Amino acid sequence: MQKQLAKMKQSLFDQGYLDEQFIQLEDLQDDANPNFVEEVVTLYYRDSVRLVQNIEQALEKNPLDFSKLEGYMHQFKGSSSSFGAKKVKTECTQFREYCRAGNAEGCKRTFQELKKEYATLKKKLEVYFQLARQAGPVEKACRPK
């Protein structure tokens, strides 16, 4: 079970879904707080629903308020990077660049990508956490690569 979990984690890292920050969070887990990372991720997906909706609405306006969009994306990027959501973070960065360039099409296109990455990560982490719960307490020495 542990091996399976480790393999899955390695895969998430190799494919670029997660970065070092995820490990930082896992290192904060202990007997008293064994599911800290899962709690953070759950909180993230719950809290960002509103933000995604706001961005979607803002993208429907004409002309786009790039400043507002950049502000939203700053938040999104911040919380995504706080738990190591690498691909989501990358899309956020791209989005902000398009905002700065005033590129509406770029923004809309990137946001579609962002939502895809956001949803994919959610599914993968759901599996990961389920596996983690089944596997029991994970040794902290389980660092990928």
Partner 1 sequence: MSGGVTTEMKFHVLAVDDSIIDRKLIERLLKTSSYQVTVVESGVKALEYLGLLDDEKSNTKSDTNSTTWNQNEIQVNMIITDYCMPGITGYDLLRKIKESTVLKDIPVVIMSSENVPSRINSCLEHGAEDFFLKPVQQSDVNKLRPHLMREKEKGKENQFNSINKRKPIEECLSPDRTRIRFNNDLVA
* Burial (0-12, 13-18, 19+ Cβ within 10 Å), 121: buried
Angle at which helix 104-135 crosses helix 2-14, to 10 degrees, equals 170
**Cα distance between residue 92 and residue 136, in whole Å:** 34
**Of the two residues 6 and 40, which places its CB atom closer to partner 1 in the complex?**
40
89 to 128, contacts with partner 1 by CB under 8 A? Answer: none
Binding of partner 1 at residue 65 (CB under 8 A)?
no
Part of the chain binding partner 1 (CB under 8 A), chosen from 22-30, 101-109, 122-130, 136-144: 22-30
Binding of partner 1 at residue 40 (CB under 8 A)?
yes
Q: Taking a C-beta distance cutoff of 8 angstroms, is the pair 72, 55 a contact? A: yes
The CA distances from residue 64 to 23, 29, 47, 53, 107, in Å, are: 37, 42, 24, 15, 10
Binding of partner 1 at residue 79 (CB under 8 A)?
yes
Q: Which of 4, 7, 14, 28 binds partner 1 (CB under 8 A)?
A: 28
Q: Which of 61, 74, 116, 143 binds partner 1 (CB under 8 A)?
A: 74
Residue 80's CB is within 10 A of a number of other CB atoms, namely 25
Q: Which of 47, 53, 136, 142 binds partner 1 (CB under 8 A)?
A: 47
Q: Taking a C-beta distance cutoff of 8 angstroms, is the pair 59, 69 a contact? A: yes
Q: Which of 16, 78, 102, 137 binds partner 1 (CB under 8 A)?
A: 78
Residues that bind partner 1 (CB under 8 A): 21, 24-25, 27-28, 30, 33, 36, 39-40, 43-44, 47, 74-75, 77-79, 81-84
